[in-house]
Amino acid sequence: MSELTQCNYCSLRDVKRQAAHVGKHVHIKRDYNGELGGVDVYVTPVSVDLPEGEIPRASEFFQQYWVAWFMEVTKSCCC
């Protein structure tokens, strides 16, 4: 990670803060599609539930609500 790049923990914190500001919910789900693992982050209206199982990248849900993929999210800031 570069000295000028924000860590994944802080990036996710910002996503959560922005979502809360507009009344949305953040979902974090293990990435089933990639060989690297990691997690996908979705931001949805509170009334929308995260689908069970794999969410294909070509799906309408993925296209509409996906905001980020992180290889790993640490338990605290490491910037």
Rounded Cα distance between 61 and 59, Å, is 5
Phi, psi of 69 (to 5 degrees): -130, 135
- What is this structure's pTM? 0.86
pLDDT, position 54: 87
Rounded Cα distance between 37 and 40, Å, is 9
Helices (H) and strands (E) in the chain, counts: 2, 3
pLDDT, position 17: 98
pLDDT at 12 over 90: yes
Encode pLDDT of 26-64 as tens digits. 999 987 766 778 999 999 999 999 988 888 889 999 999
